[in-house]
Structure 1
Amino acid sequence: MVEPPYTAGSVAGTGARRKTPSMPPPPPSPEQPQPAPAKKSAGRDLRAAIGVGVGLGAVIIASLFVVKAVFVGVVVAAVVVGVWELTSRLAERKGIHVPLVPLAVGGAAMVVAGYVWGTTGAWTATALTALAVLVWRMTRPAEDYLRDVTAGVFTTFYVPFLATFVVMMLAADDGPRRVLVFLLLTVISDTGAYAVGWRFGSHKLAPRISPGKTREGLAGAMGFAMVAGALLMQFLIDDGRWWQGILLGLAAAGSATLGDLGESMIKRDLGIKDMGTLLPGHGGIMDRLDSLLPTAPVVWLLLVLFVGQG
């Protein structure tokens, strides 16, 4: 039989006091590993975003350099889908009913008029589209008429009118190269903002509008766009100069950032993350047009000032 452990007191029948053998101290426990710091995340499916981005880029470049009319059709399609996304979100989240038919038809006409007749055609089609919105809304009850038509006129200028500057660039003799410069500057600006902001960003740019944007990211956008602008103006645009490209890149980065912040403000007011779900990893068409639309008139104007209408 195994004896029970002795205690420090008397043990019956022995008359002796025995001490319990002292136990060795437990071995020191190894240090608990500290959790690795969480890595920054882009918040989207990067594989899907890259795949969709490459696919869109291929379609745009192919249409741009094959037949100009095909690219005009791509712009028209983007405008119509963008208008549909924006008006749908306004109706769902705010109960604002913007007439879609006159905006879609008028938006397509504005793009075509801008390509064929330039600024005169763009402005004329814009005025007629806004008038059509006012008249079309009269078929509904008068309640909230002013609110609905105000949103309709805003949509007219925000999406199709700004898009007309893209096709007005295209109408020049070297139009495809001008549009390519515009697209590359906007994409490179966004890429520079993302890369530098993700790696070094610590000072918020506009935390109440877009918490993910930083001042470091803005600096990255400007730096990347200025370098790209200098190279693109020097080697792609006839009679272009590198210093003009620096100014062009700086202006494009600023307008792209403001455009992104502007759409972020709209989405924050609507209480949504994306305007749509058409493009996996990107959101909707409007989530891709946010920085392109306000940059188009800036690049168009500076190219006209630097090298003429073409």
Structure 2
Amino acid sequence: MESGASRKTPTMPSSPPPAGPPPAQDPAPQPAPVKKSAGRNLRAAIGVGVGLGAVIVASLFIVKAVFVAVVVAAVVTGLWELTSRLAERKGIRAPLIPLAVGGAAMVVLGYLRGADGAWIAMALTALAVLVWRMSEPPQNYLRDVTAGVFAAFYVPFLATFVVMMLAADDGPRRVLVFLLLTVISDTGAYAVGWRFGSHKLAPRISPGKTREGLAGAMSFAMVAGALLMQFFIDGGHWWQGLLLGLAAATSATLGDLGESMIKRDLGIKDMGSLLPGHGGIMDRLDSLLPTAPVVWLLLVAFVGKG
């Protein structure tokens, strides 16, 4: 007898593969196209922007002192946002109280006494920051007071140029030109950059900014500047508006990049959350603050102090 180990199980011949082409497979699903987005709640941003614009324009043309109060409120809020983020992210204790008091004084004296008053208030604010910080331990004293002096210059001192524009006889018109040029520059940068932007302007600082957007900002601001200087400012000429618009677009872009640099260093997206769709007050002042001295200086050069 054969042992079980030696017996082999007969294998059935395998059936031939079916003729014809292999069954069609469903194509791999394609990813949905990604739409460009502004990254914010556009409806909320527009609503808040319109509301802020209405408040600013109303205060500007009703009583000058009311607009000065609006600037003071914006400055104090901006200082609070900046010092809060410095403390939270870097442990830097820039003293808010002397900054807020000195910043308010800077704006008021800038309106009443011009550049001389603003410089005196700036110097006294820096001195107050140095003295105030002495009430705490000496560790990181130099770091904290340096940040405090920077904050005093960056927010209230640059804002004094807005109220110095306001002090002229046609002050409300000058301030409105400054605001319109900055807003139109930002709008041109967004519109052209969103539609045509492909070459990054400063990718390590602000990846969303493009060279095409900068060209759009300059073009929009130059056209607006020519129209505003020709038809809105007494004694102004269209060619002056071209230079004014070009300078405003450049300073607004640099201001935006400057705050983006600060926020990247701090590791945050926005300076605050007070304004839905916009972030904080400082996120709206970033392009306005450095543009104010540029517009003030060129208007004085073109049509005088008024």
TM-score of the superposition, structure 2-length normalised? 0.92
Aligned with 1:296: secondary structure?
helix
Structure 1 residue 39: Cα displacement: 1.1
- The amino acid that maps onto 1:186 is T
Q: 2:125 aligns with which of 129, 132, 135?
A: 129
State the match for 1:244 in structure 2.
240
Q: 1:202 aligns with which of 173, 198, 202?
A: 198
State the match for 2:178 in structure 1.
182
Structure 1 residue 23: Cα displacement: 8.3
Aligned equivalents of 2:28, 2:136: Cα separation in 1: 68
Superposition CA RMSD, Å: 1.8
Structure 1 residue 213: Cα displacement: 0.5
- The amino acid that maps onto 1:289 is L
**1:160-205, Cα deviation, whole Å (9 max, x unpaired):** 0000000000000000000000000000000000000011101000
Q: How many residues align?
A: 294
Aligned equivalents of 2:21, 2:98: Cα separation in 1: 85
Q: 1:234 aligns with which of 230, 255, 258?
A: 230
Aligned equivalents of 2:276, 2:106: Cα separation in 1: 29
| Residue identity (%) | 85
Q: 2:288 aligns with which of 292, 300, 305?
A: 292
Aligned equivalents of 1:306, 1:59: Cα separation in 2: 29
State the match for 1:213 in structure 2.
209
* Gaps in structure 2 of 5+ consecutive residues: 1-11
Q: 2:277 aligns with which of 275, 281, 286?
A: 281
The answer to whether residue 42 in structure 2 is matched with residue 46 in structure 1 is yes
The answer to whether residue 185 in structure 2 is matched with residue 192 in structure 1 is no
Structure 1 residue 29: Cα displacement: 6.5
Structure 1 residue 95: Cα displacement: 0.3
Please show how residues 1-310 of structure 1 align to structure 2 within 5 Å.
34-310=30-306
Aligned equivalents of 1:303, 1:27: Cα separation in 2: 76
TM-score of the superposition, structure 1-length normalised? 0.91
Structure 1 residue 24: Cα displacement: 8.0
Aligned equivalents of 1:130, 1:25: Cα separation in 2: 84
* Gaps in structure 1 of 5+ consecutive residues: 1-8, 11-18
